[in-house]
Structure 1
């Protein structure tokens, strides 16, 4: 029997599923990314205004892949793509869209259409869609929503950005702790308005305070007559509604949580956060500190160019000011450099190596602060550790550059000066790399934002000052 005959014998829905899988394979590479030739086919169909072909190409894709497609086509093609795929633009696609792409698409839709989409999303996803809209657009969309849905979203928007209140979902299952397992199973089966996906049931007392959790696997395996307070897990991790999302992610990581209850200041259960929400937070926070250290803004390739220029230019201007400070130190030794021009050739080596060493320490310390590895308890031990590392690296580099310089230029004193300066600047880099972010964190300033400027200034200034100053003190110049 041929392959064609086999396909004819398949039920219609199975044959359709197999055909969709084959089309999806044609569109994705081995790493599950959309193939360039597939994207080109979609763009060609968009250019020809062939909506039916666009629909046929996109229809087999997973919602997350459709969201990726919106990022890969040009900005002026996105609205046409959205119109072409019509009913494929479901809530799953909206929830997966890049923030900047989603904002542009949502702004182009009528308020009633956005309200309809928001009502179909989980509360946290609806908030993510609406929070970046202009205040007037927000009010217009909220006015089109059902009162209950509107109240939930307005309540979430009242919490600070990147807090548990913004991140949490208000769709959860909570029951009295006095209920039996059998009663709970009947409750879950009979109530159709419960969340479609959940892993735990929260047990609450008369004041709606969470007192424990029951995993669905426990419920299914227990006799019906057992009270929940006999089988529930009383030890639980509660998330204050105002907690920063980065701290929420750290708790999920530390305690291997699948979901966690969110409580208001009075301790009442008001929402839950699930691991799928935290995965997005971890992804965001993982790259955020690195981007902040470099002053590159959000680092999103879909961010408007004007915002990116503004973010980068701000820090470049700050770095320009620090460069002027460093150059003023060089200006103090103009006479020495004029007498011994070789100093001008070698001094960038000292400052450059110090800057690299400071960046290494700074990256480690900022990460340690962000992940709660560096606390008041071990700060002094961390300072001594980085001091020893800086001393070892500075000595090794000093011996290497000092020996090479002495042999290359036939001047042992010059080699000794640059070697000593290398050790001094590496020590400064190591200490600045830890003391600057720790100090900023103590004053409640994000160390990822401001540390690099201070550390770079310290290493450049001290690099030039130590090398040129030693050259003058030793009579080299």
Structure 2
């Protein structure tokens, strides 16, 4: 009997490897059962899986087999699984479901997770799903959809606990125990004034450890971090990181409490934003392996076309020195070294700058100091690399002047690369553009062009080809 033909219970006991990833043989066993239309075996195999692992299973199987798998495990395909699923996989799967099925799933979720499922549907399907929801859920989701994408309003949950400040600890405990419709997962209780504006917070541990007769206003913490409903989710994540928050109140324009954001939502945002910036620097778009091929093509090809035109700038500079290169072939051999090392130096500085901008480490207050710092780093790097390449070229080609020229060109290009790596992202950011999107294109063009110009220009001036 092969591994994929093992009894269901044997495979279920070892579905994960040492890194908590689903084993290939387990995935194969599930696919074999799906292809054989053996629903009972499929259910037995996936029964012990955590919702996050079941979501991973959907991502690992081919797209054309996901609807059949979803049909076989319909009883396990709940909101918790969809909340853990890759966005592209989830969107494709939801498109295959009926509106009432999507509505049933959305009703099980917190508002933020329900919005994530519904917001990407086309307008017709979105309306159909909203009609299938009960009035309270529909009103909450419609309100969330009215806020800008990637804002605190889309990210927040409406399910929270808020009490008036004149209550006692005993009143709060009786309220929590006597109300069945309250939020089930929460870390702190928000204290509000008569206008429903937050005036403080109480951790559950404080409530549980305080006598019943003590007033809530005496145990609450009045200092709190309030999140405007229209704040960008990246800025929200930075606040959670800076102030080590577990949860935070979200307020509307009038200061009224409208929702809460919790740290489990922020972990996903931090991961998404960090990965997004890295991928944007490379021009790879979202870089998701589940993204449709045509969308990946459209995202990547436009930056490759842009790179093609910027590369023509460097090519034009080389053409200006065609006669110089023809008289000394060694220049053609050494040109890529100058441009390549300069490009790497620029990429290093650019990555540091983009990250500093994303995390609010680099602001108008320390811009000049940061630029001077990068110039110092570039000068030290340039001196080191210039010395090494100058000595190496002098020994290999037996031409000290050639070594001096390439050393000077390398020093010049690394200094320019350092300046470009910090100034290009800063300039884009000042004009309201995302510095992670286009920085690499302009930095690469600058280092290549200036590297060739410095090397070939110095070689011509020095008369090496005469």
Length-normalised TM-score, structure 2:
0.97
Structure 1 residue 274: Cα displacement: 0.3
**Structure 1 pair 250/146, CA: closer, same or farther in 2 (3 Å)?**
same
How far apart in 2 are the matches of 1:43 and 1:25?
17
SS of alignment partner, residue 387 of structure 2:
helix
Map of 1:304 onto structure 2:
292
Map of 1:465 onto structure 2:
453
How far apart in 2 are the matches of 1:63 and 1:322?
47
Name which of 422, 444, 450 aligns with 2:438: 450
How far apart in 2 are the matches of 1:305 and 1:86?
28
Name which of 275, 282, 286 aligns with 1:294: 282
Name which of 306, 317, 321 aligns with 1:318: 306
Structure 1 residue 86: Cα displacement: 2.0
How far apart in 1 are the matches of 2:226 and 2:13?
43
Structure 1 residue 31: Cα displacement: 1.2
Map of 2:186 onto structure 1:
198
Map of 2:20 onto structure 1:
32
- 8 Å contact kept, 1:403–1:415: yes
How far apart in 2 are the matches of 1:403 and 1:278?
52
Q: Aligned pair 1:248/2:236, yes or no?
A: yes
Q: Give the 5 Å matches for 1:27-426.
A: 27-426=15-414
Structure 1 residue 186: Cα displacement: 0.1
- 8 Å contact kept, 1:21–1:60: no
**Structure 1 pair 146/357, CA: closer, same or farther in 2 (3 Å)?**
same
How far apart in 2 are the matches of 1:476 and 1:44?
70
SS of alignment partner, residue 87 of structure 1:
coil
How far apart in 1 are the matches of 2:223 and 2:10?
48
How far apart in 1 are the matches of 2:309 and 2:9?
57
Matched residue count: 458
Length-normalised TM-score, structure 1:
0.95
How far apart in 1 are the matches of 2:71 and 2:166?
52
* Structure 1: unaligned runs, 5 residues or longer: 1-19
- 8 Å contact kept, 1:417–1:471: yes
How far apart in 2 are the matches of 1:36 and 1:207?
57
SS of alignment partner, residue 89 of structure 1:
coil
* Structure 2: unaligned runs, 5 residues or longer: 1-7
- 8 Å contact kept, 2:9–2:44: no
Q: Aligned pair 1:432/2:459, yes or no?
A: no
Structure 1 residue 419: Cα displacement: 0.3
Structure 1 residue 25: Cα displacement: 4.2
* CA displacement 1:104-134 (0-9 Å, x = unmatched): 1111111111111111111000000011111
SS of alignment partner, residue 26 of structure 1:
coil
How far apart in 2 are the matches of 1:25 and 1:185?
42
How far apart in 1 are the matches of 2:9 and 2:262?
30
Kindly report the root-mean-square deviation, in angstroms, between the aligned alpha carbons of the 2 structures. Answer: 1.1
* CA displacement 1:381-405 (0-9 Å, x = unmatched): 1111110111111111111111110
How far apart in 2 are the matches of 1:22 and 1:236?
51
Structure 1 residue 27: Cα displacement: 0.3
Regions of 4+ moved over 3 Å? 20-25
